[in-house]
Structure 1
Amino acid sequence: MATNIYLSTFVILMAVAVSNILAQGFKRLSPTYINLLMGLVVGVLPLTNAAVLSFNNEIFMAAIIAPLLFFEGQNTRVLIVRRKRHLILGTAVGLAVAIAIIVGSAVHLIGGIAWPLALIMVAISAPTDATALDSVTGGRQLPTHVGTVLRMEALFNDATGLIILQAGVLWYTSGHLALGQNLLSFLWSAGGGLVFGAGVAFLLMVIRQSLLRSRWNFPSSQIIIYLMTPVVIYLLAEVWSMSGIIAVVSAGLVYNGEAQRSRFSDPRQFHLSVQLINFGSEILNSFVFVILGILLARIMTGYQSTTVTGHWFWLGILVYGLALIVRYGYARLIRLKPTAALIFALGGVHGTVTLALALSVAVLTAGDNQLVLLVETVVIILSMIVPTILLPRLLPADLMAERMPPKITKMRQAMVAAGLARLTQLTLTAAVKASVTYDLRDQLRENRLTSFLRQWGRRSWEPVNFTGDEALQERRALMQAFDAERQYLYDLVLEHRFDSKYIYSLYSEILLAESLVLDPDNQSE
């Protein structure tokens, strides 16, 4: 069993790595779609499909979705949530309930589906996906207010969808719809998850900050505690029948303020944490869509036409289309202008969480189970394809972002030229000058592979590298060159010709490079 787990993880991680590399060659296509296509390939090919284990909903939610939403919550200010609390309540609860009633009724009346099964179908498609939203905008920015509402909805509407789903399942199995019981379940799930997640996160934050300010602080242990926080909170919340998703989101909100006010207590530890979060978010996001591709491939290849007729395709269109209309109507109700309302409606993207919910319902008959899976597959695909086509036409192009890459390249070249020019003013041995020149040109990534291999050979096989005076020369030369590069960028900021964020990005690269020269912990001898 352990071997199968290792092989399955290896196949998915390799699919993530390869798809992310391929995405660099298709800049006009969102990396999410490349991940999705790679997952489809893995799911279609018999060899790779056999290597990947069957989907486990509990592991997926705890190990993948919980950390992702925890990081998303940490990137959200509590002040925004407090100011938008009424809007969040209306969108995450009111809109989800309205969709369940209106779309569920239409599926029952028009589609000829039994009420309980119709409610299950609609409830599964209630949660929207924050991680999938960026993949459908064509690289363009959503209006600030609309983008905030969509992200808040995606963070908090999972609990509503789960409770509606539980109501549908209970109705399906018992034949009765217990509204009072489900209302109490919702209050316990959502409210309990919110309080529990925030409480545990606050307690862990106090413990970690106490350690940080004492002689007991050990960065590796701190980071382990931090990375395990969303998994532990999610699992404990689920054990006590609370919403694990809302619990990890509220925990992330607590940690947002912590990051802002403790970043200089131990800069190395904070920087490492940020890099791990960015790396983890990137990998987990890709992981999610590779898995989604595999699941979609398995559902479609496992489809048996004798069990379920093509009725599922039209049901999927009905569910998505009517939900789109309800979302637009709600957006107009909260006074969004027509274009903004349409953007909001299209922004309700569904992804792996929707499919995970569909796969988690174990009480359905074989025919109903296959029908639900196929309908949700159509909903997911439509919710990604339709916005991908329409949103770029509704959102204004960021002309500055489109024009900046060539200008950033020129800025980088001029920056390195300033550093090389400073070298000519220094007294250096030929060997030191050649080494430092190579290092500075490497900032442009233009050193040939043959040049790298020569440098590697010298550093690896020569008995002695720079020592004594030459080592000091090398360090001072690099520091002087970096100082010249920073001065060039500083002068560029004062000219106000470019958005400062692009210049600061280059500036931060120089500071990181400088830390490799100065910090003994970062040097490899």
Structure 2
Amino acid sequence: MQIVTLCLFLLLAVVVSGIVSRMLPSALPRPLVQIALGALIGMVAHVRVELDPELFFLLLVPPLLFLDGWRIPKDELFRDRGAVLGLALGLVFLTVLGMGLFVHWLIPAMPLGVAFALAAVVSPTDPIAVSAVAQNAPIPKRMMHILEGEALLNDASGLVCVRFAIAAVLTGTFSFADAAATFAWMAIAGVAIGVGVALGIVATKSAFARRFGDEAGSNILVSLLIPFAAYLLAEHIHASGVLAAAAAGIAMTFTDATTAVAAGTRIRRRAVWDMLQFTLNGVIFVLLGEQLPEVFVRARDTVTSTGHVSPWWLAVYVIAVVAGLAILRYGWVWVSLQFTLLRARRRNDTAAGESPPRRIIAAMSCAGARGAITLAGALTLPLSLADGTPFPARDLVIFLASGVILSSLVIAAVALPLLLRGLSLPPETGIGAARDQARLVAANAAIAELDRVQHRMAEGRDDPDRFTDVAARLMDQYRERIDSLSSRPEDRARQGDVKIERDMRLAAVRAERNAIFDLARRREIGVELAEQLGRELDLIDARLSRQGLA
């Protein structure tokens, strides 16, 4: 009963963190608020959360990676694949090697394998943490796409490196050839299983739905189970469950395009996943805060084994690790950009003739905030070795990983708004034209379908003109859209400012909604009718709001 009560307190802390982060005038990032609330719970609660590493990893990591893979823009990921792969693979391996050797030199009492495990744990970045700390300085879209792609892939590469480092500590041996072969197997098999599980489950569910019918709740539940199925199956054959979950999420994008899913189901499914993402990330940060008091005490005891008595050496270690990570990331980003510019000049690409401002490099470096995956990786360190002795320096690794998370969040919260102020990457090219072309094709398809449907519905009727008039009225609306999309830019300017029109439409829709619920409060219409009309207006409100963010 006490564990259930504590879990409810953790969920309540997640809710309160959102309220507090919006109330604070300094717009303190939500993850920091969640860590602080968790620390408060850890200091006053009489029941501790004993985290089982494997269970913690299974419950929290697969759905987060799955959702990242599902929602990441695929075209942008492919376009910037060079930068993404460089950060997600090259920088991760450099970080594991460089920081592992540095940490072992800094803390000689920490075995080399454990130092590599710590380096692997702190190598993945967290785009959700970056988004949270960048609320006052929105990250340019292209930079955010690169960071999202990096975070999706380096979660997998970093956590796979953690597995290798743990295995080396447990067995006492490490073979580069065996590690390379194992990594290849884990990566290829993990991706294949993730894609196969997602496509297979969705295809089976669709065939069943066509034969016996379907319902929204079942569809949503299936989507929730897919990442766990992919992860468990991959782990069962010793492949990468992390890559399987991410690959399953990427495959879901293509199943959505080929599988008929009702609009209402898609809306409810997105809402459920939004809630799950918010909850899981919040719980992870609250748990981090809840564990901090006890982790600090154990790490303070562990630091004595390094030959130091003062607990302030823990702060020195954290600062040194954060500084090392920042230097490696800045150097990698700078070198990568120079190579990109060199290749562009060899292709005679005039658009990339000048080196980007150093603020872009600094912003990319500061945007490498650590978060949920780093903590999850640290907590997966086993409690003991094969002979039953405690895993060496485990508490110190968890404390240093926690310190890196806190420090990177604070640095990003302070530095990103300053670096991104007035800064923009090269504009996205072709997206506006592609959007207009898609809307033109969709409008023409709607007109053709209306013409077909009106004849079918009017056939054999006594009043066919009634159907013709309704269809003509709808066709006129689509033709107006086609005319506005086909006009020249100067003609569109004369038609009025798009942003002004959107804001006015949004204000009008919200006024409609308030008026409808005022009628319900005065008992002039039923609550059920008000909620139905309100849902329709909410969809329009959401569409107009997304247009404002695009």
The alpha-carbon deviation at position 295 of structure 1 amounts to: 2.1
1:283 and 2:279 matched: yes
**2:405 matched residue in structure 1:** 380
Distance across 1 between alignment mates of 2:30 and 2:278: 11
Match of 1:270 among 256, 266, 270: 266
Q: CA deviation at 1:203?
A: 0.9
Pick the aligned partner of 2:416 from 370, 378, 391: 391
**Alpha-carbon distance between aligned partners in 1 of 2:105 and 2:535, rounded to the nearest angstrom:** 70
Note the C-alpha offset of 1:61. Answer: 2.2
| Matched residue type, 2:36 | L
2:40 pairs with 1:41: yes
Q: 8 Å contact 2:302–2:395 — kept in the other structure?
A: no
What SS does the corresponding residue of 2:23 show, helix, strand or coil?
A: coil
> In the alignment, what sits opposite 2:545?
502
Q: Distance in 1 between matches of 2:229 and 2:152?
A: 19
**Are the structure 2 counterparts of residues 321 and 202 from structure 1 closer, same or farther at C-alpha, using a change threshold of 3 Å?**
same
Q: Match for residue 9 of structure 1?
A: 7
For residue 178 of structure 1, report the CA deviation from its aligned partner: 1.2
Whether the 8 Å contact between 1:155 and 1:246 is mirrored in structure 2 is no
Paired position in structure 2 for 1:227: 224
Shift of 1:196: 0.9
Matches within 5 A, 1:34-113: 34-47=33-46, 50=47, 52-112=48-108, 113=110
Query: C-alpha distance in 2, partners of 1:126/1:317?
Result: 16
CA distance in 1, matches of 2:292, 2:101: 27
Residue 26 of structure 1: CA displacement?
Answer: 2.6
Paired residue for 1:120? 117
1:41-440 pair list within 5 angstroms: 41-47=40-46, 50=47, 52-112=48-108, 113-260=110-257, 262=259, 265-305=261-301, 308=304, 309=308, 310=311, 311-335=313-337, 337=356, 338-362=358-382, 363=384, 365=390, 368-396=393-421, 439-440=517-518
Pairwise CA distance, 1:230: 1.1
Q: 1:503–1:86: structure 2 CA closer, same or farther, 3 Å change rule? A: closer
Q: Partner letter of residue 229 of structure 1?
A: I
Residues 115 and 398 from structure 1, CA distance in 2 versus in 1: closer, same or farther, beyond 3 angstroms? closer
Distance 2:417 2:515 in 1: 44
Q: 2 CA distance for matches of 1:232 and 1:101?
A: 33
Deviation at 1:329, TM superposition (A): 1.2
Aligned residue in 2 for 1:517: none
TM-fit CA distance, 1:242? 1.8
Task: Give, in angstroms, the shift of residue 503 of structure 1.
Answer: 8.4
Distance 2:282 2:238 in 1: 29
Question: Cα RMSD (Å) of the superposition?
Answer: 3.8
Contact 2:159 2:242 in 1 (8 A): no
Aligned residues: 441
> 1-side partners of 2:151 and 2:246: how far apart?
11
- Give the alignment's TM-score, normalised by structure 2: 0.70
Q: Alignment identity in percent?
A: 24
In 2: Cα distance, 1:174 partner to 1:236 partner = 25
1:167 touches 1:178 (CA, 8 Å); kept in 2? Answer: no
1:341-371, Cα deviation, whole Å (9 max, x unpaired)? 2122112211232223223222474662232
**Amino acid paired to 1:19:** S
Matched-pair contact (CA < 8 Å) for 1:146–1:340: no
Q: In structure 2, do the counterparts of structure 1 residues 25 and 342 end up closer, same or farther at CA, with 3 Å as the change threshold?
A: same
The code of the aligned residue for 1:20 comes to G
What secondary structure is seen at the aligned counterpart in 2 of 1:213? helix
1:377-411 CA-partner distances (Å, limit 9, x unpaired): 22222111111111110113699xxxxxxx99997
CA–CA distance in structure 2, aligned partners of residues 145 and 503 of structure 1? 18
By how many angstroms is 1:316 displaced? 2.1
Whether the 8 Å CA contact 2:300–2:314 is kept in 1: the answer is no
Instruction: State the Cα distance separating 1:505 from its structure 2 match.
Output: 8.1
Specify every segment of 5 or more residues in structure 2 that has no aligned partner in the other structure, as ranges. Answer: 339-355, 425-500
Q: Secondary structure at the match of 1:334?
A: helix
Distance 1:482 1:225 in 2: 25
Deviations 1:6-33 (A, max 9, x none): 3332221122223233334236222322
C-alpha displacement at 1:166, in angstroms?
Answer: 3.5
Relative distance call for 1:295 and 1:351 in structure 2 (3 A) is farther
Is contact 1:19-1:38 (8 Å) kept? yes
- Give the Cα–Cα distance (whole angstroms) in 1 for the partners of residues 244 and 37 of structure 2: 32
Letter in 2 for 1:46: A
Shift, 1:111, TM fit: 4.2
Deviation at 1:179, TM superposition (A): 0.9
- Residues 91-111 of structure 1, C-alpha deviation per residue, up to 9 Å, x if partnerless? 222111111222222233344
Aligned AA (1:172): V
Q: Distance in 1 between matches of 2:192 and 2:201?
A: 14
| Distance in 2 between residues matched to 1:15 and 1:475, nearest whole Å | 35
Q: Aligned in 2, Cα 1:256/1:163: closer, same or farther, shift over 3 Å?
A: closer
Q: Distance in 1 between matches of 2:535 and 2:52?
A: 50
Provide the C-alpha distance between the structure 2 equivalents of 1:39 and 1:212, rounded to a whole number of angstroms. 44
C-alpha contact 2:57 2:380 (8 A) present in aligned 1: no
Shift of 1:277: 1.7
**Letter matched to residue 34 of structure 2:** N
